[in-house]
Amino acid sequence: MDPPLDLQPSMMVRPVWPKCCCRRRLFWGLLSTLMVLLTLRFLISGGHEELLSHSLPYFMSGGGHRISPPLLPSSDDFLLLPPPEACSPRAPSLLVLVVSAPYHKTQRQAIRSTWGGARCAGKFTVQTFFALGLPQKPSFQAALELEAAKHQDLVQGRFLDTYGNLTLKTLSLMGWAATHCPGTLFLVKVDDDIFLNLPGLAEELEHRTTLAPTYLGQIHWRVWPRRDSRSRHYIPTSLYPAEHFPPYCGGAVYVLSGAAVPILLGASRHVPLVPVEDIFVGLCAHWAGIAPQHLARLTGGDHFPPDRCCYRGVLLSVHKVTPFEMAAVWDTTTPYKETCRVWQWALGYLRCKALAWMATL
């Protein structure tokens, strides 16, 4: 029996949703998408660093040994030093030590003429110095002495400046800071191809206590030692037999509180002198029971194209920056808080990562 005429499928009328219902669905869809993006930004930008820092001790075995006297260099361990008044009568509250090579004069000058020339950032006084070793060509030493006399910002140790001596260079600069600049609140170690956003970093550090030892940067997890003797990162089993390293901060840039420096120098007496300096610092921190704290805005290996908002606003540091790029993004006429438009701040780290990704295409 056929259904009544008014109920036949061909004549059924589909329900029409009210416009207000469609708008409500669209609103909740957009709101959900926004919440997902904000959550991703929170996770990527390092907003979870406090949770990560509190969870690290549960993943780190050992640590917390009795503090040993710091391993400090003598004045004879240095060939060139800044004048004594560089850190007196009061040490800078933010001490920046740039690891450089003897022949990188162009990089050092680019830093001096841009972010490294700052003497204050937020509530911090700032001083920047360059750490290096002996040139492989002894004839080049005269040029370094002229540069030191002009700028008075070179810390030169008495060791050959090679990749294998980076650990020794790090110990040297930390030892110099502990003996010649005591009282500094934070020490920032950076490579000479880093653009450092000092106002942004100062704003970040203002919220951190200087009483507890601090070790802050981009954390590397479960890194295995290189056992290939042909690699410059080669670490033999006899030097470090464990299967992986404890979490450590990448060496391009990391921050230590003034309280952490002598503790790490004391721990260095008990840690194998591995030739990879950031791993060595991580091992010292692990031995002393100092958990690294993650901050994604201290960038690692990604190359970000010159963008004033990323360099001087969102990110705290940018790696692999040429002297030309440093000059291109340097603009002292625009205040730190005004380098990004509202929509650029909203996208924040995600936008900068997208620019870095597009630069590789």
- Tell me the one-letter amino acid at 73: P
Residue 163 phi, psi dihedral angles, 5° rounding:
-60, -35
pLDDT reported for residue 70: 76
pLDDT reported for residue 69: 76
* Number of neighbours of residue 36 by Cβ within 10 angstroms: 10
- What is d(CA 205, CA 198) in angstroms, rounded to the nearest whole number? 10
Determine contact, residues 141/55, Cβ cutoff 8 Å: no
pLDDT reported for residue 13: 46
- What is d(CA 27, CA 33) in angstroms, rounded to the nearest whole number? 10
The residue behind tokens 């391993």 is: 71
Residue 55 phi, psi dihedral angles, 5° rounding:
-85, -20
CA 112 to chain centre: 19
CATH of range 62-301; options 3.30.70, 3.40.50, 3.90.550, 1.10.3470: 3.90.550
pLDDT reported for residue 64: 60
Count the residues in the chain.
361
In order along its 361 residues, the chain shows pLDDT tens digits of 555 544 444 444 444 545 445 544 544 454 444 444 443 443 344 443 333 333 333 233 455 676 777 777 777 899 999 998 888 888 999 999 999 999 999 999 999 999 999 999 999 999 999 999 999 999 999 999 999 999 999 999 999 999 999 999 999 999 999 999 999 999 999 999 999 999 999 999 998 877 789 999 999 998 999 998 889 889 999 999 999 999 999 999 999 999 999 999 999 999 999 989 999 999 999 999 999 999 989 987 778 999 999 999 999 999 999 999 999 999 877 888 889 999 999 999 999 999 998 888 7
- Whether omega for the bond prior to residue 89 falls within 30 degrees of 0, making it cis, is yes
pLDDT reported for residue 18: 52
- What is d(CA 173, CA 73) in angstroms, rounded to the nearest whole number? 9
CA 170 to chain centre: 15
